[in-house]
Amino acid sequence: MRSRSPLALSRRQRAATHIVLLLMCLPFLMPILWMVTTSLKSNAEIFPQTDEAAITFSLDRIFPDQPQWQNYKEALETGPFVLYLRNSLMLCALNVFGAVASSALVAYGFARMRFPGKDLLFFILIATMALPRHVTMIPVFVIFKALGWYGSLLPLIVPAFLGHPFYIFLLRQFFQTIPTDLCEAGTIDGASELRIFTQIMLPLAKPALATCALFQFLTTWNDYFGPLVYINDPAYYTVAYGLQQFMGNHGSEWAQLMAVATLFTLPIIVLFFCAQKVFIQGVATTGAKG
């Protein structure tokens, strides 16, 4: 008998692995599929009139008979979602820049610099990650209220420029994997700590920085609690908060609601697929050294 080549076996193994992974992903993809298909249905298809049709499940009922693309147009016309999108993108851009820049600077100090009490300060920093957000909600609100920032976007922007404990931990782990010889060579050449940080460490830390940026973008984009607490002007509403307002005013219009939810989810899916290689590389590399 002729033996099968290792190349053919590896192809079959990869094909079998992909099939198993796709089957495992189906339970997680079904809600997204239901959301997209519902956004393209008419009210008669979403709410069948007969009880028999309501309880009968088939694949034919998942997909619409005729896609109702006007649901997206009607949904966008019911509220200023372009304004909400602009506010969300502005907040995401500022939060990503502020969180990544400040966290990287602090992480470099903990990873490379020596000063008294460094380990204790890092332990306290990590310990703050165990505090739920609701524990510090009232003190932080009182501070922002006293500063006169209530009703503006400042409470949603300024904290990002003060560093994030998880990003500091992630970047510190990555900086510790970079050989110290590179920093010592820069010191011998007369480079300052700031120059070593900006011209040596940051270019090498692009995967970890991209990971932190992706996490921060997702956190800011999905943030509903922050705008709920600090924003009282509709001109400052974000997409997440605007979607909640749409649900309150048009909760019975499920097709339009699912259309807005689909548009709200689409940027996150596109961003993840575009940055998944860098994201996986950053997470894998930061876990290389504890």
* 187 and 220 fall within a common domain: yes
Nearest to 263 by CA among 65, 79, 96, 47: 79
pTM of the model: 0.80
User: How far is 123 from 95, CA to CA, in rounded Å?
Assistant: 25
Q: Does some domain include residue 84?
A: yes
Predicted confidence pLDDT, tens digits, the chain (290 residues): 455 555 555 778 888 888 888 888 888 888 888 888 888 888 777 776 655 444 455 555 677 778 888 888 887 887 788 888 899 999 999 999 999 999 999 999 998 888 888 889 999 998 988 888 888 889 999 999 999 999 899 999 999 999 899 999 989 988 888 888 887 787 887 878 888 888 888 888 888 898 899 889 989 998 988 998 998 888 899 988 888 887 777 666 788 888 888 888 888 888 777 777 766 766 666 554 44
Domain count of the chain?
2
Token pair recorded at residue 1: 């008998």
Nearest to 210 by CA among 289, 105, 282: 282
* CATH number for the domain harbouring residue 206: 1.10.3720.10
* 101 and 43 fall within a common domain: no
Of 18, 37, 68, which marks where a domain is finished? 68
* 138 and 256 fall within a common domain: yes
Length of the chain, in residues: 290
Contact, 114 vs 122, CB < 8 A? no
Q: Which range marks the domain in which residue 60 is found?
A: 6-68
Long-range CB contact pairs, 269-275, < 8 A, 24+: 271/214, 271/217, 272/214, 275/210, 275/214
Q: Which DSSP category does 253 fall into?
A: -
Q: Does some domain include residue 253?
A: yes
